[in-house]
Amino acid sequence: MNKNLKELADLSGGQLKGDGGVVICGVSEPDTARPDQICLVASKKYVEAARQSRAGAFIIQQGLPDLERPVIISDNSHLVFARIVEIFAEDAGTFVPAGIHPSAVVSKTAVIGKSVSVQAYAVIEENAVIGDNSVIFPFVYVGRETKIGRQALIYSGVSIRERVKIGDRAIIHSGAVIGNDGFGFAREQAGTYKKIRQTGTVEIGDDVEIGANACIARATLGKTRIGSGVKIDSLVQIAHNVSIGDNTIIVGQAGVSGSVVIGKNVILAGQVGIADHVTIGDNVIVEAKSGVHKDLAAGKIYFGYPAREQKEAARNLAEIQQIGKIRKRLKEIEKKSGI
Amino acid sequence: MNKNLKELADLSGGQLKGDGGVVICGVSEPDTARPDQICLVASKKYVEAARQSRAGAFIIQQGLPDLERPVIISDNSHLVFARIVEIFAEDAGTFVPAGIHPSAVVSKTAVIGKSVSVQAYAVIEENAVIGDNSVIFPFVYVGRETKIGRQALIYSGVSIRERVKIGDRAIIHSGAVIGNDGFGFAREQAGTYKKIRQTGTVEIGDDVEIGANACIARATLGKTRIGSGVKIDSLVQIAHNVSIGDNTIIVGQAGVSGSVVIGKNVILAGQVGIADHVTIGDNVIVEAKSGVHKDLAAGKIYFGYPAREQKEAARNLAEIQQIGKIRKRLKEIEKKSGI
Amino acid sequence: MNKNLKELADLSGGQLKGDGGVVICGVSEPDTARPDQICLVASKKYVEAARQSRAGAFIIQQGLPDLERPVIISDNSHLVFARIVEIFAEDAGTFVPAGIHPSAVVSKTAVIGKSVSVQAYAVIEENAVIGDNSVIFPFVYVGRETKIGRQALIYSGVSIRERVKIGDRAIIHSGAVIGNDGFGFAREQAGTYKKIRQTGTVEIGDDVEIGANACIARATLGKTRIGSGVKIDSLVQIAHNVSIGDNTIIVGQAGVSGSVVIGKNVILAGQVGIADHVTIGDNVIVEAKSGVHKDLAAGKIYFGYPAREQKEAARNLAEIQQIGKIRKRLKEIEKKSGI
């Protein structure tokens, strides 16, 4: 497919500068781009690579130096980039076989919407519901009474246990597990543990993406709740009874313990850990690898273990670097003062 | 199902206080409870929510303030709660189709016990043994000569490689892998690595629970051993030749390196890492995100990286907060003393 | 199978010392070894256990004390051990059924090499290519146009998405996911996130091993690259557009963020985290649980979070232990000097 730059600017909401007639047939990275491709220049760091590139045009963040080539300018160049990538992306749907593969095991009581693709060796149990236009890849297990909304993409090897609810336009990557038992045990006198039956479930909003091999446990009682627009990366663990507000982002290998409440628009960076029963306010950012064991106030950035406000955490790190100097000064004082 | 409070007290081993005739038909959380439901009040923190609740009765930890409603009192309210949840839990077994699904691929030489459920698209290889009353969900792979005991629940998508032994009443959650190769390589002169064939196996005791997408590697030689009553959470990694004592708990995303020996009744909290060849004594608690690279003495609590006894670790953290003050005092001394 | 010690020394490249006629029929660990078995003594630490052992012979690291039994000596005893384990290992291939299992769903347009084993319930999509002598276990998903080289072992439950390339002799353990979408989103004005379509792919060299439940994301554009000889452990996450040099080792639960460039012969130890866009030089070692957010120079050892050169990190740790003493000395000075 071809588009000229003027069309791309109009479709993506960016502002054209230079020759709108340049024909573009794909998006690439600066070092491998051809003259019929466009590249993203999101920050100063990429300007030099852009200048060296053979790309025919650029999507450029407002305020960056002129590249002397046709560009689409935006104050949100990432968003314009996302829209243009989408224009050129092969539509995954094109490759999806329609209908129910003869090898799929679909219960007679399951309700399958219109234009759903259920691929080879998917298993859909009693009274499960799959919304219109959803795609169920091979080796997906959908437990009884689980409901998946419309336009879902459930990749190969995903397990969704019984009685889970998932909204529209979900994307769930391979190997993710939704609705496994929460990790709850009561200690018995002998030192053994008795399992606390996990009779609750998981409820997930619309437009949620869940990463490969991520695990979202069902609640002991009630529900583990994932708000709409939440994006969860690979290998993330969400424990039982957690509640996550809309449009929160949880990056790879982060872990959220039982009964944690997370607000809206929060970012938990990679490998972060949140202790159980903690509450995290809206718009909080927790930086990578931090460990949180107390409530975090809304709108602030936290770092470290135990996590502190970023400035304080940075000051602590800097102070540690001063200890050697302190010891020298102390020695000098002791020497000179004869104490 | 209905039970009155007197019956529940008798069945759960708690002590009735108040009207034993209250009819209860389920367990709930305080904020959503109906008058025919019972809730847990395990600590002071939950007393106020309990008072606001519409619940008809409570399971209450001994020593907490009176709630002015019928209660079951216990010095182990979690255990009483676990028992009462179980009474009301729908029996998972009820929903399990009996027998071997026609699509399951079961080797002729496999030995399948009585009342086993082997569901759609399970694969059971040569000479594998599945004990009585066990349930094998879809997409479970049981390698040749692997033995699984009685009353096991092996959820969808679990892979158990060849020659593994698993005791009775195992619960293995979706996506877990048991018996994958240990991570062992010998460096060759060219800087490449030669694989050390992992010819050992994994041996798991009775009453073990293994979390979703957890990985337990087989030994290089000999056995990786998981004792009875061990509970392993989601996304935990147990490396080759590890030995874990009975009733030890390993929380989400923790990792145990090769040849580590862990005692009985140990708790490794979330995201803990244990370096290879370390020995950890009985009854140790390692707090979340700690990194252990030395042996840990029995019966103590450890924290931090490198992990130290909790008191020492806490002192270190507090000391770091003092560095700023120290620098001020030093400056003052230097000023006043003219040094 | 039996070999005498002379034969084993010749086959493994080690140096015989003592009676070459001792008949050996397997490799074991010192505490369980029989007189017809050989054990590894790689360091001083194992000498005492070796002396107590009933083993008939040892593979011993050069320079260790005499064990008064027949030995094979080497300055790379691990490599000799790897070779001897291989000699005695049952050949996994022996147990692999040849040909395509009738239940496998293989596209007519897929190209399957000679002597390939495609086991029950594998799914191989359009135009996929599987090289000669490869083994595809049950529940493996190979997406359209994906190419897997010769002699690959792809264990049960692995998902490989579309258009991925994997070289020869790959070993991919159960539950691993290759080619899942990178985690890329552009923030929209409303606070919601728009998915950036991940249209790139993954390219993996020869002789790569990928651990159980590890995740390797496809690139946004272009390729995520894994060099030849790279060994990746269980539960590791490799994000989109990462590039990893040949013979690099990444240990369990480590995470590598987007667009990171890692050199050759690097070792990332367990639970390490690398922030996005960082460059790591050749021959770097990053110790366990470290967090890296800046470029690392080649050939050095790093530790801590933020990661510093090991010596500096160790000094920092030691300095923190001194703060208490510093405060005491300060107090004394203040007291004695009257300030």
List the single range of A109-118, A283-292, A330-339, C38-47 with lowest mean pLDDT. Answer: A330-339
For residue A257, the model assigns a pLDDT of 98
Which positions of A are annotated as active-site residues? 240
In this predicted structure, what is the pLDDT of residue B328? 85
Q: Is B330 on the interface with C (CB under 8 A)?
A: yes
- Looking at the complex, does the CB of residue C157 fall below 8 Å from at least one CB of chain B? yes
pLDDT tens-digit series, residues A140-186: 999 999 999 999 999 999 999 999 999 999 999 999 999 999 999 99
pLDDT band at B90 (very low <50, low <70, confident <90, very high): low
Cα-Cα-Cα-Cα dihedral sign, residues A164, A229, A276, A253: positive
pLDDT of B317 > 70? The answer is: yes
The residue extents of the domains of chain A are 3-89, 97-310
pLDDT of A50 reads 95
What does the alpha-carbon distance between residue A66 and residue A74 come to, in Å, rounded to a whole number? 13
* Integer angstrom CA distances of residue A166 from A72, A154, A178, A227, A264: 37, 11, 10, 10, 18
Give the whole-angstrom CA distance, residue C62 versus residue B181: 28
3-state secondary structure of C5: helix
Report CB contact under 8 Å: B139, C120.
Answer: no
Torsions phi, psi of C29, nearest 5? Answer: -100, 150
B19, two tokens: 């009207």
pLDDT of B322 reads 86
**Sign of torsion over alpha carbons A64, A70, A72, A78:** negative
Cβ of residue C103 closer than 8 Å to a chain B Cβ? yes
Of B262, B290, B254, B289, nearest in space to B278 by CA: B262
Burial class (CB in 10 A: 0-12, 13-18, 19+), B36: middle
Nearest CB neighbour to C186, from listed A82, A212, A270: A82
pLDDT over threshold 60, residue B245 = yes
Per-residue pLDDT tens digits for B169-181: 999 999 999 999 9
Indicate which of A101, A123, A164 best probes the interface with B, i.e. most B CBs within 10 Å of its own CB: A123
Task: Give me the mean pLDDT over the A244-272 stretch.
Answer: 98
- Catalytic site residue from C101, C240, C277, C293: C240
The number of angstroms, rounded, from the C-alpha of B86 to the middle of its chain's C-alpha atoms is 18
pLDDT score, position B96: 74
Going B57 to B62 to B68 to B72, the CA torsion angle's sign is: positive
Averaged pLDDT of chain A: 95
> For A70-126, what is each residue's pLDDT tens digit?
999 999 999 999 999 999 986 554 567 779 999 999 999 999 999 999 999 999 999
Binary contact (C213, B217; C-beta < 8 A):
no
Give me the sheet containing C15-17, strands edge to edge: C15-17, C71-74, C57-61, C37-41, C26-27
For B114-132, letters b (16+ CB in 10 Å) and e give eebbbbbbbbbbebbbbbe
Q: Which two tokens stand for residue C209?
A: 């091993």
> Which tokens is B138 given?
């879809």
| Nearest CA-CA partner of C297 in C289, C307, C73 | C307
Query: Secondary structure of B32-56 in the HEC alphabet?
Result: HCCCCEEEEECCHHHHHHHHHCCCC
Question: What confidence tens digit (pLDDT) does each residue in A309-324 have?
Answer: 999 999 888 888 888 8
Q: Is the pLDDT of residue A339 over 70?
A: no
> Tokens for C26?
């397997």
Q: Is B84 helix (H, G, I), strand (E, B) or coil?
A: helix
Write the burial class of residue C281 (CB in 10 Å: 0-12 exposed, 13-18 middle, 19+ buried).
Answer: middle
Task: Please tell me whether residue A120 adopts helix, strand or coil conformation.
Answer: coil
Task: Flag if A255 and B270 touch (Cβ within 8 Å).
Answer: yes
Q: What are the tens digits of pLDDT across the range B95-109?
A: 677 799 999 999 999
**Reported pTM:** 0.96
* Residues of chain C neighbouring A234 (CB-CB closer than 8 A): 177, 180, 183, 215, 217, 237
In Å, what is the CA distance from A60 to each residue of A64, A71, B98, B269? 7, 7, 62, 46
Instruction: Choose among A322, C25, C57, C302: nearest CA to B322.
Output: A322
**The architecture CATH gives domain C98-310:** 3 Solenoid (2.160)
Provide the 10 A C-beta neighbour count for residue C332.
12
Cα angle value C95/A159/C120 (rounded, 5°)? 25
Residue B81 has pLDDT above 80, yes or no: yes
Angle at B153 between CA B147 and CA B156, to 5 degrees: 100
Nearest residue of chain A to residue C143 (CA atoms): A156
> B93 pLDDT exceeds 60?
no
The CATH-assigned architecture of domain C3-89 is 3-Layer(aba) Sandwich (3.40)
C240 among known catalytic residues: yes
Q: What is the pLDDT of residue C95?
A: 64
Strands B267-268 and B249-250: parallel
Q: Report the distance separating Cα C54 and Cα C36, nearest Å.
A: 9
Q: What is the fold of B97-305?
A: UDP N-Acetylglucosamine Acyltransferase; domain 1 (2.160.10)
- CB interface of A with B, residues 167-206, below 8 Å: 175, 177, 180-181, 183-189, 191-197, 199
Q: Any CB–CB contact under 8 A between B321 and chain C? A: no
Q: State the average pLDDT over residues A299-316.
A: 94
From chain C residues 217-276, the ones with a CB under 8 A of any chain A CB are 217, 220-222, 235, 237, 239, 253, 255, 257, 271, 273, 275
Q: Which residues of chain C have pLDDT under 70?
A: 90-95, 339
Touching chains, A (3+ CB pairs < 8 A): B, C
The pLDDT value recorded for residue C335 is 81
Q: Which two tokens stand for residue B61?
A: 């930890």
Is the ipTM above a cut-off of 0.90? Answer: yes
Q: Is the backbone of residue C331 left (phi > 0), alpha (psi -120 to 50) or beta?
A: alpha
Q: What is the pLDDT of residue A94?
A: 54
- pLDDT exceeds cutoff 80 at B338: no
Q: Active-site residue among B78, B101, B173, B240?
A: B240
Q: Do C212 and B105 touch (CB under 8 A)?
A: no
By Cβ distance, the residue of C29, C156, C320 closest to B320 is C320
From the list A81, A120, A171, the residue facing C105 with the nearest CB is A120
Amino acid A152: pLDDT: 96
Q: What mean pLDDT comes out for the span A223-247?
A: 98
Print the SS3 string covering A263-286: CCCCEECCCCEECCCCEECCCCEE
Are B173 and A177 spatial neighbours (Cβ–Cβ below 8 Å)?
yes
Whether B314 shows a pLDDT value over 60: the answer reads: yes
To the nearest whole Å, the CA of A65 is away from the closest chain C CA by: 22
Nearest 10 degrees: Cα torsion B320, B325, B331, B335 = -160
Query: Is residue A336 less than 8 Å (CB to CB) from chain B?
Result: yes
Question: Pick from A119, A138, A327: which is nearest to C326 by CB?
Answer: A327
Copy the structure tokens of residue A97.
Answer: 């076989």
**Interchain contact, B323 vs C327, CB within 8 Å:** no
Domain A97-310 sits in CATH at: 2.160.10.10
* Residues A238/A262, Cβ–Cβ less than 8 Å: no
Q: How far is C286 from chain A (nearest CA, A)?
A: 15
φ/ψ (deg, to 5) at C82: -55, -40
